Amino acid sequence: MKKNAIMPAAVTDPLRAREAQYRALFDESGPTQRMQAEELARISSREIIAAREEERRAVASALHHNVGSMAVGLSAHLEAIEAEIRAGKAREALKLMRRTRKLLAASTRSLKRLAVEIRPPELDVLGLPAALRQLFARVTEQGHTRIQFRETMRRRRLSEGTATTLFRIAQEALTNAVTHGHAKRVIVSIGASKEHVMLTVRDHGTGFDLLAAAPRVRSRMGLRVMKEMAALAGGAFTITSKPGKGATVRVILPLRLGSSA
How far apart CA 200 and CA 222 sit, in angstroms, is 16
Residue 165, classified by CB atoms within 10 Å of its CB into exposed (0-12), middle (13-18) or buried (19+), is: buried
For each of the domains in the chain, give its residue range(s) and CATH number, in order of start. 9-117 (no CATH), 121-254 (3.30.565.10)
- 10 Å Cβ neighbour count for 15? 21
Please tell me the pTM assigned to this model: 0.62
What values do phi and psi take at 239, rounded to 5? -135, 135
pLDDT tens track, the chain, 261 positions: 433 333 344 444 555 555 555 555 555 555 666 565 555 555 555 665 565 666 667 667 777 677 777 888 888 888 999 998 999 998 998 998 998 888 888 888 777 777 666 667 778 788 899 889 988 998 888 878 899 999 998 778 888 889 989 998 998 899 889 888 889 999 999 999 889 999 999 999 988 877 765 545 443 557 777 888 888 888 999 999 988 889 999 999 999 887 644
251 near 199, Cβ under 8 Å?
A: yes
pLDDT of res. 122: 76
